[in-house]
Amino acid sequence: MTRLASLGLSGSGSSARNLPTNVRLDPSRTGREAEALDSNLRRLVIGQDEAIDQIVNIYQMQQTGLNPPGRPVGNFLFLGPTGTGKTRIVEAMAESLVGSPRAVVKIDCAEFQHSHEIAKLIGSPPGYLGHRETHPLLSQETINQHHTDRVKLSFILFDEIEKASDSLWNLLLGILDKATLTLGDNRKVDFSRAMIFMTSNLGASEMSSLLQPKLGFGLRRTDAVNPDALDEKTTEKISRSGVEAARKKFTPEFMNRLDKVVVFQPLGEKHPRPTARSFSSVRTRPRNSCFRKGSTPSTAPGT
Ligand SMILES: Nc1ncnc2c1ncn2[C@@H]1O[C@H](COP(=O)(O)OP(=O)(O)OP(=O)(O)O)[C@@H](O)[C@H]1O
Ligand SMILES: [Mg+2]
């Protein structure tokens, strides 16, 4: 069974991992840490239970030693409209586990189109101009720099992967499959203690047309489906259109390397706003918050 095949439509349901049978569980590590992560994520991230469940599941598997060796701890694809918490949830995980939302290594795929830009990620080969000066963003030291005595996990976020160039794409496929990256100077970087998150707004327009089915002349405000009134069927349709858009755009080779595909749902007025306490441990003020008074959460600009 491929990794994606076990995802179900929206990545929900049973675990996507082909679990090794010869690994012994360490029950002493399953409970409290995963529970703490779960409650921290629920405090910091509003209304994305599906994503939280999937993240906690994979974290729990890593804690018990069940994740397959030679692979990243988890490969996630997050789809959904802008400003729904795709980036926030990764920062919240880092904050909860290693104490800082800044522990996330963020790669905006749109910025790495040309080979000289890829060198910012992997460094230039020896002999090339700037070989000594460039410190690759994806070196082992950089990705491990926020490891703590207790938590040896790295959080790598590839934003807007649909904009990745071919060379970045190849590099990404190698990381997702073998947890390995070869730097410009041939050193290997091991991603087997990394969680890889990829985001895309693919399918977002189809999702909004499900919420606002009657576009063009004659559109009345009341025609739009209020995100608060989303029933299970509409949520399912939104998830389906996200996954379909991803399947059309990305190769099976890529989709099969994913553990979880999660479609982030539009947020509505009924979702509780984060309280001051929710953000008390976040040092920086959230940029472009979709919870500013007067703004509509599902349409607020993201990061
Ligand atoms: N579900 C949520 N829970 C808590 N805060 C949220 C949520 N969604 C958005 N926010 C707030 O809005 C800001 C922008 O959200 P975020 O950057 O996570 O959006 P995004 O889904 O990554 O969007 P984009 O696709 O544009 O990157 C966050 O910093 C956070 O303050
Ligand atoms: Mg984002």
Q: What is the pLDDT of residues 135-192, one digit of tens each?
A: 899 999 999 999 999 999 999 999 999 999 989 999 999 999 999 999 998 999 999 9
Instruction: Tell me how crowded residue 68 is: count the other CB atoms within 10 A of its CB.
Output: 15
Measuring from each residue's beta carbon to the nearest atom of ligand 1, which residues come in under 6 Å?
45-48, 82-88, 199, 201, 267, 274, 286, 288-290, 302-303
Look up residue 252 and give its amino acid: P
- CATH number, domain 5-12+27-199+256-264: 3.40.50.300
Atom of ligand 1 nearest to the CA of 47: 1
Whole-number pLDDT of residue 300 = 34
Q: Which of 54-58, 162-166, 288-292 has the lowest mean pLDDT?
A: 288-292
| Residue ranges per structural domain of the chain | 5-12+27-199+256-264
- Residue ID of nearest Cα to ligand 1 atom 13: 289
State the closest ligand 1 atom to the C-alpha of 89, by its place in the atom list counted from 1: 18
| Stronger pLDDT, 194 or 64, i.e. the higher one | 194
Ligand positioned closest to the Cα atom of 286: 1
The pLDDT of residue 205 is above 90 = no
17-35 confidence digits (pLDDT tens): 454 545 555 555 557 889 9
Question: 81 C-alpha vs ligand 2 centroid, how far in Å?
Answer: 10
Q: Collapsing DSSP states into helix, strand and coil, what is residue 194?
A: strand
Residue 19: Cβ within 10 Å count: 10
Residue 129: exposure state from Cβ atoms within 10 A (0-12, 13-18, ≥19): exposed
> How many angstroms is it from 157 CA to the middle of ligand 2?
9
Q: What are the tens digits of pLDDT across the range 89-148?
A: 999 999 999 999 999 999 999 999 887 789 899 987 766 666 566 689 999 999 999 999
Least confident of 58-67, 181-190, 216-225: 216-225
292: which residues sit within 8 A by CB, 6+ positions away?
300
pLDDT at 203: 81
The pLDDT mean for the chain works out to 77
Using DSSP bridges, classify how beta strands 194-200 and 74-79 pair: parallel, antiparallel or unpaired: parallel
For residue 114, the model assigns a pLDDT of 80
Please report the pLDDT score of residue 129 as a whole number. 62
Q: Between these two residues, 205 and 54, which has the higher pLDDT value?
A: 54
Q: Give the separation between CA 68 and CA 23, rounded to whole angstroms.
A: 9
The confidence score (pLDDT) of residue 127 equals 65
pLDDT at 137: 93
Number of Cα atoms under 13 Å in the Cβ half of residue 291: 19
> Who wins on pLDDT, 97 or 278?
97
The atom of ligand 1 lying closest to the CA of 267 is: 1
pLDDT band at 270 (very low <50, low <70, confident <90, very high): low
Using 50, 70 and 90 to split pLDDT, how confident is the model at 228?
low
Average pLDDT over residues 192-207: 90
User: Which SS3 state, helix, strand or coil, does residue 261 take?
Assistant: strand
What is the per-residue DSSP string for 97-132?
Answer: HHS-GGGEEEEEGGG--SHHHHHHHH-PPTTSTTTT
Nearest ligand to the CA of 79 is 1
The per-residue pLDDT for range 31-43, each reduced to its tens digit, is 788 999 999 999 9
Query: What is the bridge-based pairing of β-strands 180-182 and 188-190?
Result: antiparallel
Q: Rounded to the nearest whole angstrom, what is the distance from the C-alpha of residue 102 to the centroid of ligand 2?
A: 14
Task: Give the residue whose CA is nearest to atom 18 of ligand 1.
Answer: 85
The pick from 42, 88, 198 for probing ligand 1's pocket by mutation, whose C-beta has the most ligand atoms within 8 angstroms, reads 88
pLDDT, residue 251, reads 93
Q: Is the pLDDT of residue 220 over 60?
A: no
